[in-house]
């Protein structure tokens, strides 16, 4: 038994730093896929709070609220604890132990070549990130993945290199301490998502710090207001000017959130000036509100009943911990480490 005989379904590990309420970019970039994947794979969805510390270690006061808001939104949109294990990274101390052990196998150059390190520290000169923790966070990611013997890690393009590093370190440990028939770790594969990138309503990258996000469970009126000021095709100055939807954020949102039966109406209407931007945005706001109305209602229920989301996390932490303990027992034994 090597901890990999965990059933027939493939195992998936994914997670995100606790950033609080989830916006439409979070939905498109990760949550929509998670909702599909939880039906067919054994999924572990992790609130990566230790990863948050790599960049926000100077002020952690918002962490508890961010975790709460994030988990409530995850449950509101339909992540199902009966199908997936939803847990908090820092509740599973074994991640820290495995991180330490993997660090012993990880060449320094491998970490220094990471794009995030080069961009932020070497070229970006961000001295606040010039820390041991930030340099090593891809190694912590490897621990997160290998802990659950994940087969699949869904990633964006910028995260592929981290899964490659995880493959490298897993293969190295397997080479030194495993056999072909009985490896220490399962070597994971990445699954590249093809999610479109949604810009914020001011046309810049969607980011909380810019205040340009539309949140999944915010009140319908706020969604209407935020959509009404979205940046559009700059060539459509007057109502009778034809537009180019491909140059307009509103169209990129329509493609994701609006019932496809309206797509022609919007596209043709825009290119022929048959519809105005105001009507186009009204339709978008009503489609977003229609889609997320059940999540909004569910969120209100969960906020009234904190025991419910807390018990989901308690159960998820317990299940993740059991799996992590099993993995670590095997890893310690393979590495000839002291055991009591």
The binding site for ligand SF4 (CB under 6 A) comprises 232-233, 236, 243, 245, 248, 250-251, 270, 275, 277, 280-281
The distance of closest approach from Cβ of residue 231 to ligand SF4 in the complex, given in angstroms and rounded to an integer, is: 9
- Provide the 10 A C-beta neighbour count for residue 32: 15
The distance of closest approach from Cβ of residue 97 to ligand SF4 in the complex, given in angstroms and rounded to an integer, is: 52
**Angle 129-45-83 (CA atoms, 0-180°, nearest 5)?**
175
The distance of closest approach from Cβ of residue 269 to ligand SF4 in the complex, given in angstroms and rounded to an integer, is: 6
The distance of closest approach from Cβ of residue 29 to ligand SF4 in the complex, given in angstroms and rounded to an integer, is: 22
Question: Between residues 43 and 250, which has the closer beta carbon with respect to ligand SF4?
Answer: 250
Q: What angle, rounded to 10 degrees, do the helices at 160-177 and 137-147 form? A: 60
Question: Between residues 172 and 263, which has the closer beta carbon with respect to ligand SF4?
Answer: 263
Phi/psi region, residue 11 (left: phi>0; alpha: psi -120 to 50; beta: rest), is beta
The distance of closest approach from Cβ of residue 265 to ligand SF4 in the complex, given in angstroms and rounded to an integer, is: 10
Question: Between residues 165 and 281, which has the closer beta carbon with respect to ligand SF4?
Answer: 281
Question: Between residues 43 and 248, which has the closer beta carbon with respect to ligand SF4?
Answer: 248
Cα separation, 199 vs 226, whole angstroms: 13
> Per-residue DSSP letters for 37-75?
HTTTSEEEEEE-HHHHHHHHTT--TTHHHHHHHHHHHHH
Cα separation, 306 vs 14, whole angstroms: 24
Question: Between residues 41 and 277, which has the closer beta carbon with respect to ligand SF4?
Answer: 277
Question: Between residues 48 and 266, which has the closer beta carbon with respect to ligand SF4?
Answer: 266
DSSP strand E in 67-131: where? 84-88
The distance of closest approach from Cβ of residue 283 to ligand SF4 in the complex, given in angstroms and rounded to an integer, is: 9
The distance of closest approach from Cβ of residue 219 to ligand SF4 in the complex, given in angstroms and rounded to an integer, is: 22
Strands 42-47 and 189-192: unpaired
The distance of closest approach from Cβ of residue 268 to ligand SF4 in the complex, given in angstroms and rounded to an integer, is: 10
Question: Between residues 47 and 250, which has the closer beta carbon with respect to ligand SF4?
Answer: 250
Question: Between residues 148 and 253, which has the closer beta carbon with respect to ligand SF4?
Answer: 253
């Amino acid at each position: 038994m090597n901890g990999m005989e965990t059933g027939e379904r493939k195992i998936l590990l994914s997670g995100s730093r606790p950033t609080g309420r989830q916006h439409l970019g979070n939905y498109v970039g990760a949550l929509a896929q998670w909702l599909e994947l939880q039906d067919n794979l054994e999924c572990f969805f992790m609130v990566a709070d230790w990863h948050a510390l790599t960049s926000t270690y100077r002020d952690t006061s918002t962490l508890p609220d961010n975790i709460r808001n994030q988990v409530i939104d995850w449950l509101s949109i339909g992540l199902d604890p009966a199908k997936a294990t939803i847990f908090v990274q820092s509740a599973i101390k074994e991640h820290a132990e495995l991180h330490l052990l993997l660090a012993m196998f990880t060449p320094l150059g491998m970490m220094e070549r990471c794009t995030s390190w080069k961009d932020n520290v070497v070229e970006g000169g961000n001295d606040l990130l010039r820390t041991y923790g930030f340099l090593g966070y891809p190694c912590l990611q490897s621990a997160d993945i290998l802990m659950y013997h994940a087969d699949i890690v869904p990633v964006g393009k910028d995260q592929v290199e981290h899964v490659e590093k995880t493959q490298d370190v897993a293969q190295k440990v397997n080479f030194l301490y495993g056999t072909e028939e009985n490896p220490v770790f399962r070597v994971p594969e990445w699954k590249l998502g093809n999610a479109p990138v949604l810009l914020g309503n001011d046309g810049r990258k969607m980011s909380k710090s810019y205040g340009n996000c539309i949140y999944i469970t915010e009140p319908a009126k706020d969604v209407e207001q935020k959509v009404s000021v979205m940046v559009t095709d700059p060539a459509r100055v007057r109502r009778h000017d034809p537009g180019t939807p491909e140059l307009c954020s509103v169209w990129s949102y329509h493609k994701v959130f609006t019932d496809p039966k309206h797509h022609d109406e919007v596209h043709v209407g825009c290119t022929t000036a048959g519809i105005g931007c105001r009507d186009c945005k009204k339709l978008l706001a009503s489609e977003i509100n229609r889609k997320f109305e059940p999540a909004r209602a569910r969120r209100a229920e969960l906020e009234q009943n904190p025991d419910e989301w807390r018990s989901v996390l308690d159960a998820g932490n317990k299940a993740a911990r059991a799996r992590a303990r099993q993995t670590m027992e095997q890893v310690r034994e393979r590495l000839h480490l002291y055991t009591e």
